[in-house]
């Protein structure tokens, strides 16, 4: 366990040295601030016809929808490409394989590091949208529901990280890997919209996981089946990705 934690910290350090992730985190905060300012401006420009307080009261949930489906998946794909195909491309993976750590621990410590990075983005989003809501709308109503929603949406991101890690085992080129991840993700997302019946069978349809639990009306047995689908995807992506990583030659 100590080796796993040490390796995970090492992978996190690698990600922290890449300034693009800090830049994207700052951009996330800026987007939140701009949206808050725009909504306040609309309220003032309408002379009170449109209540900016009412709009901003739902800001944490409104922003979550965009970031959890578009912004954070892009961050995950970039981080996965940096830690997997990126290291294969520049040859640094050889030094990783020479460490007295099993490939299993190396693989899943990288996944854990990417997941922590994604969680940092989610926590930052929750904190700033909540602050903007409290300052501009003078309300903390629904804070618990928002917190639970953000927490629940971390679960499907684990599957997305496993998917990104698996896809990176098929290519040595980081640019090609990220393109493949994005294309497949967009294709699955669009298919889920065009054919709603397939949405429940695709892991991309569960990114807003909180919709199934917050104010859920489905019987619990159906909820269990949906949990099983998500777990199944996670197991497949995790096992296939690890199998390919274990047998990878550099």
In contact, 115 and 249? CB cutoff 8 Å: no
User: Quick check: 50 pLDDT over 70?
Assistant: no
For the cut 60, the answer to whether the pLDDT of residue 245 exceeds it is yes
Strands (E), the chain: none
Q: Using the predicted structure, report yes or no on whether residue 82 has a pLDDT greater than 70.
A: yes
> 117-153 pLDDT, tens per residue?
999 999 999 999 988 888 776 667 778 888 888 998 9
Is residue 59 one of the residues assigned to a domain? Answer: no
**Listed residue (209, 28, 22) closest to 129, CA to CA:** 28
Question: What's the rounded Cα separation, in Å, for the pair 5 and 178?
Answer: 27
> Residue 92: which residues within 8 A CB-CB, separation 6 or more?
none
Q: What pTM value is reported for the model?
A: 0.90
Range of weakest confidence among 57-66, 88-97, 132-141, 150-159: 132-141
Considering the chain, what is the average pLDDT of its residues?
A: 86
CA-wise closest residue to 15 among 101, 88, 115: 115
Of 1, 213, 185, 192, the C-alpha closest to 109 is: 1
Please tell me what DSSP assigns to residue 50.
S
The rounded percent of the chain whose pLDDT value lies above 90 is 47
Helices and strands (H, E) in the chain, number of each type = 13, 0
CB contact at 8 A, 175 and 93: no
The more confident residue out of 52 and 106 is 106
Q: How far apart are CA 24 and CA 121, in angstroms?
A: 9
- According to the model, what pLDDT value does residue 46 have? 62
125 CB-near residues (< 8 Å, 6+ apart): 28, 32, 63, 64, 67, 150
Our count of domains for the chain comes to 1
pLDDT given for residue 75 in this prediction: 96
Question: pLDDT class for 53, splitting at 50, 70, 90?
Answer: low
Contacts of 153 (CB under 8 A, 6+ apart): 64, 68, 122, 207, 208, 209, 210
Residue 42 lies in a domain: no
pLDDT of residue 69: 92
**Coil, helix or strand at residue 233:** helix
Domain that holds residue 96: 2-18+64-119+139-246
Q: Once rounded to an integer, what is the mean pLDDT over residues 53-64?
A: 76
Judge whether residue 95 has pLDDT over 90.
Answer: no
Q: Is the pLDDT of residue 228 over 80?
A: yes
- Mean pLDDT on 54-78: 87
43 assigned to some structural domain = no
User: Does 109 map to a domain?
Assistant: yes
Query: DSSP state, 247?
Result: T
Please indicate, yes or no, if residue 229 is contained in any of the structural domains: yes
pLDDT at position 247 is: 87
Residue 148 located in a structural domain = yes
CA angle 114, 119, 124 (to 5 degrees): 130
Q: Quick one: average pLDDT of 180-184?
A: 95
Whether 238 has a pLDDT exceeding 90, the answer reads yes
51 located within any domain: no
Give the Å distances, CA to CA, from 168 to 21, 38, 147, 225.
Answer: 19, 39, 32, 29
Residue 227 has pLDDT above 80, yes or no: yes
Q: Is residue 9 part of a domain?
A: yes
pLDDT value at position 61? Answer: 85
* 26-35, 48-57, 104-113: least confidently modelled range: 48-57
Q: What is the mean pLDDT of residues 243-250?
A: 85
pLDDT tens digits, residue range 187-223? Answer: 999 998 898 888 778 888 888 887 777 765 566 677 7
């Amino acid at each position: 366990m100590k080796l796993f934690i040490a390796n995970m910290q090492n992978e996190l350090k690698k990600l922290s040295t890449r300034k693009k992730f800090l830049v994207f985190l700052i951009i996330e905060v800026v987007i939140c601030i701009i949206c808050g300012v725009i909504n306040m401006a609309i309220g003032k420009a309408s002379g009170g016809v449109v209540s900016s307080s009412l709009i901003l009261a739902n800001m944490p949930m409104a922003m979550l929808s965009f970031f959890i489906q578009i912004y954070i998946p892009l961050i995950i794909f970039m981080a996965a490409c940096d830690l997997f195909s990126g290291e294969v491309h520049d040859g640094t993976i050889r030094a990783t394989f020479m460490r007295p750590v099993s490939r299993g621990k190396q693989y899943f410590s990288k996944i854990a590091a990417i997941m922590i990075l994604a969680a940092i983005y989610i926590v930052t989003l929750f904190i700033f949208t909540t602050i903007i809501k409290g300052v501009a709308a003078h309300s903390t109503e629904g804070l618990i529901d928002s917190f639970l929603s953000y927490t629940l949406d971390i679960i499907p991101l684990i599957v997305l990280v496993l998917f990104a890690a698996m896809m990176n085992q098929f290519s040595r080129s980081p640019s090609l890997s990220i393109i493949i991840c994005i294309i497949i993700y967009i294709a699955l997302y669009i298919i889920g919209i065009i054919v709603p019946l397939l949405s429940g069978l695709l892991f991309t349809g569960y990114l807003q996981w909180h919709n199934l639990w917050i104010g859920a009306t489905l019987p619990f047995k159906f909820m269990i089946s949906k949990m099983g689908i998500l777990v199944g995807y996670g197991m497949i992506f995790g096992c296939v990705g690890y199998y390919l990583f274990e047998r990878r030659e550099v």
